Structure 1
Amino acid sequence: MFENAFNNIDKALRNDEGMATELDYAEQTSWLLFLKYLDDREAERADNAELEGREYRPILDGAYRWQAWAAPKDEHGNFDHNVAKTGDDLIEFVNRELFPYLQTFRNSAPGVDTLEYKIGEIFSEIICKFRSGYALRDAIEIVDTLTFNSQQAKHELSDLYETRIRRMGNAGRNGGEYYTPRPLIRAMIRVTDPKLGETIYDGACGSAGFLCEAYEHLKSDSLSTSEWDTLQRKTFYGQEKKSLAYVIGIMNMILHGIETPAITHANTLNENVLEIQEAQRHDVVLANPPFGGGERKEVQHNFPIKTGETAYLFLQHFIRMLRAGGRGAVVIKNTFLSNTDNASVDLRKELLTTCNLHTVLDCPGGTFQGAGVKTVVLFFDKGAPTQHVWYYQLDPGRSLGKTNPLNDADLAEFVELHPSKAASDKSWTIATDDINPATWDLAVKNPNAPEEAPLRSPEEIIGDMLARDAETARILEEIREML
């Protein structure tokens, strides 16, 4: 049922000339789903209040509630097409009345950690891209068939939404910006092993994949009321700069079961890392920060190690956002391990001297769809300096691609070997005493791999060519003499 609904939503979106990409599909589906979710939640709260004999005041005023403008019903509970807005009237209402009204919640909300504030944030950051009120009407009527009133429904919807996010990531050049492969995320979570009562942070949360998977890791049917409240309100924290990713991240967390996501719409790199207070720090950092970029000088001034490389600034931020004894798992380009520029060398030194970089997971090419760079995952604990680094070279035994992506089985051996840091054909350990303190080079060099034949010098190559030419000439001369 839900899968057919999502497919039909796509068809409705394709019929609107305002939709051009998978990113548009994800964004426009998100705000419709959010308003339907909000309506279901309001109805549930109203029912609970009635059972308890108390008054309930809805968050949204009557004219702006889903049942009033999107899906009005007749006295028999059937969709009332005679009342429902459509065509230009619907587009006019959404653009000139609904969105401006919802935007006011950012200023009127009682606090930034409330659902009211999230409403204001979301609708201040996106626009309605529908140009056809008839296509929008079709999409609305399909979304109205979805329900958020059970955990099973939310689970199925979250799976479909994840598929949409994956498609969106695959469609763009920077696929990892929106979608980190879930098997890789789950392996990172199993190694860091967050516990209930700890806080988990992603300062570049994108579509919130790390926070959603960490929630799945921690949730349990046996949680007490206070533990459930801790899981919901005092566990997951994130920041995201881009409006689209921010909206999708909130919707993704809601669908997974986190009712009021603590994601802030902000540029993490605008914060001075030297001013981070203990109260802001977290127990676990899980992240795949964007790389490349070219951060401005004023942004670089927020960091002791100056660099325009976005990922290097994020890594400095993550180190300082961890509490003493906290655990981090961060994806970064593999060139970070061996680059010789001053920022790379200084950052490797800081990581090794202020944290225990206990594990480097070397990921194969194709791990990230749509991103043509090789990556590694750095696992580190804040506090004591590094003594040994355990490397694991992930080799699924096949080429990874869109039709053959990374899966949980590919990472099973890594997760199994990690506690013991055992040596194998794919894993080995180096001591920091053996690392050159002039370069702090951490390049992946598997000692178990067969040695490659050394490259020959140009002189050797030219000599061999001349020798073959001479041999050929001799053979031709012998043939002529025989004739």
Structure 2
Amino acid sequence: MSIQNNIDRITDILRRDDGISGAMHYTEQISWILFLKFLNDYEDNKADEAFLEGTEYKHVLRKNLRWEHWACPKDEKGQLDVKRAMTGDDLIDFVNKTLFPYLQAFKSTTNDPKSLTYKIGAIFEYLDNRIASGHTLREILDIIDRLDFQSSDELFELSQVYENLLKSMGSDGGNSGEFYTPRAIIKAMVETTRIKVGDTIYDGAIGSGGFLVEAFDYLVQDGKKEKLSAKEWEFLQSETFFGMEKTSLGYVMGMMNMILHGIESPNVFRGNTLTQNIRDYQEKDRHDVILANPPFGGKEKKQIQQNFPVESNATEILFLQHFMKMLKLEGRAAIVVPEGVLFQTNNAFTKVKQTLLENYNVHTIVSLPAGVFLPYSGVKTNILYFDRNGATSDIWYYDVTPPYKLTKNKPITYEHIKEFVHLFHHPEERNATNAKLKIPATSSGVEKSCNDWTVNISDIKDYDLSAKNPHKVVEVVHQSPQNLLKAIKQNDTEINTLMNQIESLIDG
């Protein structure tokens, strides 16, 4: 049975438990159990490698609290030892009173925030066991015990299954939705920021960690991992990925997502990014690449607003200033912003955009269709690309236009963005003007659409950066006053005729 089928079985079991309510809860509970099984297999693998090298591996977990001792102890035949396997109230008491306090204390027992011990403590600091029935937990442990995370194929499948869990949590709506950005959007953004091993990559609102995970996959897949030196691999593991997350659930989901995907030591911490005074940042604090979809529509207190040169209670404007200050010289950024950031011209928005255009190179803006973040938000959004390579001169726009209206059940796909990615890497094929193009119809008579255009900075008025696709503008035919009057009289005549017909029907 595939991992996905096993996870589906577990979610069905959890739905019957009194302590679980909704996708957010069962994702959280499956996560900590999956993580401990993964950790067990990871440590067993490290111990085997050390044995072959003639050294000894020092386990993170003490012996009686490792998976094979408390979760699924085995008899001499390798079968579940029912005499030693806890269930019912005994199992719940052990998890709540012994296992969790032990794991939660890890963060305070080490001074190295890069160590696996610290990361485990940071994860479990914000977790609680919500499963009420020990018999339910026993069923779940038995299913997960059959998974083998020492197998690279199963580990890859696990990472995909976990993504699906996070997606279902996002689709559940409510506050959980903010942790999940559609994979198609993330993939396109990663593929168009030219990341490479040696870059530091930052997300100031990591949510479920999608941007950092996709960046890692991009750097190691398709045979790239085998070409890395030991030094490059070490840098990738411990010095590449950085981030912050305000919510405890988002932090836990993000950390687990990264570790389960193979990032052993992400530099991710829990906290409100906006509490940092951006005037204090120095070049050593900044990053080569910024990829983010920060929360928008929120409000921040005056005390937090004072951390920014341009004060505003709109979180999107504060985050934009934060990311501008966090970008290294020659760094690249791709950030999802609500439509309002581009078109609003009130004092705070104008000041920030003026700084952005004059001190940074805003080279690309992608207009995303409405419905990208359904069901938890219907706000129209854009992807804003800029780098720290001088001032803005020309902005290339791309309008993502799916052939159907996006809904919860008909989400955006990578196919909808593939042309943008291609044109990004082939600038010679882009539309270099802001003029409306008349594209001849294809042989089948279908008119081709043009989704991109370029605007010179001199044509931007009042710092309005909104995407106005010139190819979708309906041309207005201006008629003479005489012709307009004639058309009005003709309409009046037709209306009177219809009214007379209706009256005759009523009288008849």
TM-score normalised by length of structure 1 = 0.92
* Equivalent position of 1:60 in the other structure: 61
Deviation at 1:277, TM superposition (A): 2.1
CA–CA distance in structure 1, aligned partners of residues 196 and 475 of structure 2: 44
CA–CA distance in structure 1, aligned partners of residues 393 and 466 of structure 2: 16
CA–CA distance in structure 1, aligned partners of residues 313 and 261 of structure 2: 35
Query: Is the 8 Å Cα contact of residues 18 and 130 (structure 1) preserved in structure 2?
Result: yes
Letter of the 1:135 counterpart:
T
Matches within 5 A, 1:20-169: 20-169=21-170
1:388 and 2:394 correspond: yes
Aligned length: 472
Summarize deviations over 1:299-335 as a string: whole Å, max 9, x none. 1111111111112111111111110110000001012
CA–CA distance in structure 2, aligned partners of residues 294 and 228 of structure 1: 40
Matches within 5 A, 1:275-314: 275-314=280-319
Deviation at 1:383, TM superposition (A): 3.6
Letter of the 2:227 counterpart:
S
CA–CA distance in structure 2, aligned partners of residues 467 and 141 of structure 1: 76
Q: Does the residue aligned with 1:448 lie in a helix, a strand or coil?
A: helix
1:19 and 2:20 correspond: yes
* Equivalent position of 2:336 in the other structure: 331
Matches within 5 A, 1:376-415: 376-415=382-421
CA–CA distance in structure 1, aligned partners of residues 133 and 471 of structure 2: 61
Moved more, 413-422 or 89-98: 413-422
1:472 and 2:475 correspond: no
CA–CA distance in structure 2, aligned partners of residues 190 and 300 of structure 1: 33
* Equivalent position of 2:199 in the other structure: 198
Summarize deviations over 1:200-237 as a string: whole Å, max 9, x none. 11110111111111111111222222222122122111
C-alpha change, 1:474 and 1:68, in structure 2 (3 Å) is closer
C-alpha change, 1:319 and 1:109, in structure 2 (3 Å) is same
Q: Does the residue aligned with 2:392 lie in a helix, a strand or coil?
A: coil
Deviation at 1:177, TM superposition (A): 1.4
CA–CA distance in structure 2, aligned partners of residues 145 and 474 of structure 1: 76
Moved more, 260-269 or 129-138: 260-269
CA–CA distance in structure 2, aligned partners of residues 94 and 105 of structure 1: 16
C-alpha change, 1:473 and 1:52, in structure 2 (3 Å) is closer
CA–CA distance in structure 2, aligned partners of residues 237 and 471 of structure 1: 67
C-alpha change, 1:408 and 1:465, in structure 2 (3 Å) is same
Deviation at 1:468, TM superposition (A): 3.1
- CA RMSD, aligned part only? 2.4
CA–CA distance in structure 2, aligned partners of residues 310 and 471 of structure 1: 53
* Equivalent position of 2:367 in the other structure: 362
CA–CA distance in structure 1, aligned partners of residues 498 and 113 of structure 2: 87
1:234 and 2:239 correspond: yes
Query: Is the 8 Å Cα contact of residues 188 and 421 (structure 2) preserved in structure 1?
Result: yes
Query: Is the 8 Å Cα contact of residues 35 and 66 (structure 1) preserved in structure 2?
Result: yes
Query: Is the 8 Å Cα contact of residues 169 and 369 (structure 1) preserved in structure 2?
Result: no
CA–CA distance in structure 2, aligned partners of residues 81 and 454 of structure 1: 83
Query: Is the 8 Å Cα contact of residues 192 and 424 (structure 2) preserved in structure 1?
Result: yes
Query: Is the 8 Å Cα contact of residues 35 and 260 (structure 2) preserved in structure 1?
Result: no
Summarize deviations over 1:225-273 as a string: whole Å, max 9, x none. 2222122122111111111111111111122111222211121111111
1:433 and 2:450 correspond: no
C-alpha change, 1:324 and 1:67, in structure 2 (3 Å) is same
Letter of the 2:458 counterpart:
D
Deviation at 1:340, TM superposition (A): 2.5
C-alpha change, 1:408 and 1:470, in structure 2 (3 Å) is closer
Deviation at 1:475, TM superposition (A): 8.4
Gaps of 5+ in 2: 432-436, 438-449, 479-483
Query: Is the 8 Å Cα contact of residues 361 and 387 (structure 2) preserved in structure 1?
Result: yes
Match for 2:350 among 338, 345, 349? Answer: 345
Query: Is the 8 Å Cα contact of residues 175 and 368 (structure 1) preserved in structure 2?
Result: no
CA–CA distance in structure 1, aligned partners of residues 51 and 394 of structure 2: 61
CA–CA distance in structure 2, aligned partners of residues 452 and 178 of structure 1: 42
CA–CA distance in structure 1, aligned partners of residues 361 and 25 of structure 2: 42
Letter of the 2:468 counterpart:
K
CA–CA distance in structure 2, aligned partners of residues 100 and 55 of structure 1: 27
Summarize deviations over 1:19-55 as a string: whole Å, max 9, x none. 1111101111111111111111221222222223323
Query: Is the 8 Å Cα contact of residues 324 and 383 (structure 1) preserved in structure 2?
Result: yes
CA–CA distance in structure 2, aligned partners of residues 94 and 351 of structure 1: 51
Q: Does the residue aligned with 1:428 lie in a helix, a strand or coil?
A: strand
Letter of the 2:496 counterpart:
T
Deviation at 1:173, TM superposition (A): 3.4
CA–CA distance in structure 2, aligned partners of residues 429 and 302 of structure 1: 35
Q: Does the residue aligned with 2:171 lie in a helix, a strand or coil?
A: helix
1:449 and 2:454 correspond: no
Query: Is the 8 Å Cα contact of residues 12 and 136 (structure 1) preserved in structure 2?
Result: no
1:179 and 2:207 correspond: no
Q: Does the residue aligned with 2:470 lie in a helix, a strand or coil?
A: coil
CA–CA distance in structure 1, aligned partners of residues 497 and 292 of structure 2: 64
Letter of the 1:263 counterpart:
V
Letter of the 1:352 counterpart:
L
Q: Does the residue aligned with 2:332 lie in a helix, a strand or coil?
A: strand
Deviation at 1:191, TM superposition (A): 1.3
Query: Is the 8 Å Cα contact of residues 345 and 463 (structure 2) preserved in structure 1?
Result: no
Moved more, 319-328 or 45-54: 45-54
Query: Is the 8 Å Cα contact of residues 372 and 378 (structure 2) preserved in structure 1?
Result: no
CA–CA distance in structure 2, aligned partners of residues 10 and 203 of structure 1: 31
Deviation at 1:341, TM superposition (A): 2.0
Query: Is the 8 Å Cα contact of residues 169 and 177 (structure 2) preserved in structure 1?
Result: no
Q: Does the residue aligned with 1:364 lie in a helix, a strand or coil?
A: coil
CA–CA distance in structure 1, aligned partners of residues 416 and 264 of structure 2: 33
Q: Does the residue aligned with 2:417 lie in a helix, a strand or coil?
A: helix
CA–CA distance in structure 1, aligned partners of residues 90 and 198 of structure 2: 49
CA–CA distance in structure 1, aligned partners of residues 477 and 68 of structure 2: 72
CA–CA distance in structure 2, aligned partners of residues 38 and 474 of structure 1: 78
Summarize deviations over 1:364-417 as a string: whole Å, max 9, x none. 012223221110000100141101111111112222223322222211111111
Deviation at 1:112, TM superposition (A): 0.7
Letter of the 1:353 counterpart:
E
C-alpha change, 1:175 and 1:39, in structure 2 (3 Å) is closer
